[in-house]
Amino acid sequence: MTHQKPEYPPRAQLVTEKWGILQSLRAAQRNLLEIIPEIALHQPIVTGKMGKPWHMVMDPDAIRHILRDRLDDYPKSDVTKNILRPAIGDSMFVAEGAHWRWQRRAAAPVFSHRNVANLAPIMSAAADRSCARIGAHGGRAADMYSEMVTATFEVISDVTFSGDEGFDRSAIHRAIDGYIDSTARVSLFDVLGLPTWIPRPGRMLSSGSMKTMKSMADDVIRSRASKGEDELPDLLDLLLAGEDPETKRSMNPSELRDNLLTFIVAGHETTALTLGWALYLCAFDEAAQDRAREEAQSVLAGRTATESDIANLPYIRQIIDETLRLYPPAAFLSRTAQKSDELCGRPIATGDTVMLPVYALHRSRLLWDDPDAFDPDRFAKDRKVDRFAYLPFGDGPRICIGMSFAVQEAVIILATILSRFKFTRVQGKDPDPVLILTLRPEGGVWLNVEKA
């Protein structure tokens, strides 16, 4: 029996009082969303001090200035780099300036529309296998977030390491989970602004699993480089063949490995979160779920979704977009100002931390109508959204390179699943949004499952 539907899906409890460093640190280590002031939902900028001055920006024009117009003046913060480098080195996600630009240009063709579309059959096959596993629950409750992690990890490993039997997928998966659990939490040293060369104790704990993950990736890259080309290249083949058209530079083995691991870590975790939250929201709003199922069944007629179906599944795509608004996987971005500046009338000094709390931006009372409500029609074709008010993939030159891949995968899997199953909420199991490195549903997404 499901309990009465609340007015809004779960939201984080934002801070309503002034906290000291230790109280803020404890909150950040528990759930980074909890350090966002509630007032950030009602104004374009919030300024404070925690070790050093910080500014949270929720104004689209100021965000455009940071992410597009003055990109080089607002690189990723030292805290962000310190958290990410143990796993993904100086890959394009972390690199800045010229080193980032040549990597981005070399990798851009990998995610062309043609190459992404060619990978769609792998996504469709994973959707089929996921449906088989869901159906095996026989009408019982299941953790759909866990299932979506399995499905999206199958996709990312198949499109990355297809045919490489020596690649231990379960070991990679364990290493990623260990990294997020032990390495990605903010340290007191980070809050105090201590130099990055001083070791953060928590980040030393997962070094063994990181080394194992990198070693396996290195082995596969060496093995693949000695093989001939396959008829349909996978992501690793495309990266090996990549070249910056301006400098003619190609990635060396360590750069290949770090970028490959970036795609693996980001590519399955973020899509799994999107799908897990989307299924919860469909169970939360059964009318939206029924509408989505009717669309999917009408288009698919019992078969599995493919890339060519996506254009005919607009409401499914709207559910994905609205899910990314309410529960953006990358819900908090952080930059360090390299020059003095002004944002929303506030002076910004060199060295100040400038934060983009995407979670608060997406729920701003100044930018959205009824922002805590689940309303996929916000993203209907005739509705306009300021692109810098909606940042599930970032924006500007550093917009997520895998955005089209992620959206294609999410629509294919969600449409296939909703066409075959109906989901309802489990009493007492509504998930709370908790942000460590990504915005996860605490305790999973437990839903009752029955055949549609």
Q: Report pLDDT digits (tens) over 266-281.
A: 888 899 999 999 999 9
Residue 22 CB neighbour total at 10 angstroms: 10
Given the residues 263, 379, 393, 405, select the one marked as catalytic: 393
Is residue 4 included in any domain, yes or no? no
Residue 141 has pLDDT above 60, yes or no: yes
- Placement of tokens 């080089």 in the chain: 72
- pTM for this prediction: 0.92
Two structure tokens written together for 135: 């159906």
Binding-site residue ranges for heme = 400
Q: Are 105 and 250 in contact (CB under 8 A)?
A: no
Is residue 418 included in any domain, yes or no? yes
Is residue 10 included in any domain, yes or no? no
Residue 100 has pLDDT above 90, yes or no: yes
Is residue 424 flagged as an active site residue?
A: no
**Residue range 238-260, pLDDT digits in tens:** 999 999 999 999 999 899 999 98
Is residue 107 included in any domain, yes or no? yes
Taking alpha carbons only, the member of 432, 353, 287 closest to residue 57 is: 353
Q: Give the pLDDT of residue 30.
A: 78
**Residue range 112-126, pLDDT digits in tens:** 999 999 999 999 999
Given the residues 160, 270, 271, 323, select the one marked as catalytic: 270
Residue 151 has pLDDT above 60, yes or no: yes
Binding-site residue ranges = 400
* CA pair distance 43, 57, nearest whole angstrom: 9
* CA pair distance 449, 283, nearest whole angstrom: 10
Most confident listed range (6-15, 59-68, 78-87, 187-196)? 59-68
Is residue 270 flagged as an active site residue?
A: yes
Dihedral over alpha carbons 439, 287, 296, 146 (to 10 degrees): 30
Q: Give the pLDDT of residue 27.
A: 67
CB proximity list for 117: less than 8 A, separation 6 or greater: 307, 408
Is residue 1 included in any domain, yes or no? no
Is residue 5 included in any domain, yes or no? no
CATH number at residue 198: 1.10.630.10
CB proximity list for 82: less than 8 A, separation 6 or greater: 190, 196, 200, 203
* CA pair distance 411, 414, nearest whole angstrom: 5
221 — pLDDT class (breaks 50, 70, 90): confident
Helices (H), 386-444: 403-420
- The secondary element (H helix, E strand) that includes residue 179 is helix 169-182
Is residue 344 flagged as an active site residue?
A: no
How many separate domains does the chain show?
1
Q: Are 91 and 259 in contact (CB under 8 A)?
A: yes
Backbone angles phi and psi of 200, in degrees to 5: -95, 115
Q: What is the mean pLDDT of the chain?
A: 88
186 — pLDDT class (breaks 50, 70, 90): low
Q: Give the pLDDT of residue 190.
A: 58
Is residue 6 included in any domain, yes or no? no
Is residue 7 included in any domain, yes or no? no
Two structure tokens written together for 292: 């989505």
* Segments forming the whole domain that contains residue 288: 21-451
Given the residues 263, 336, 353, 400, select the one marked as catalytic: 400
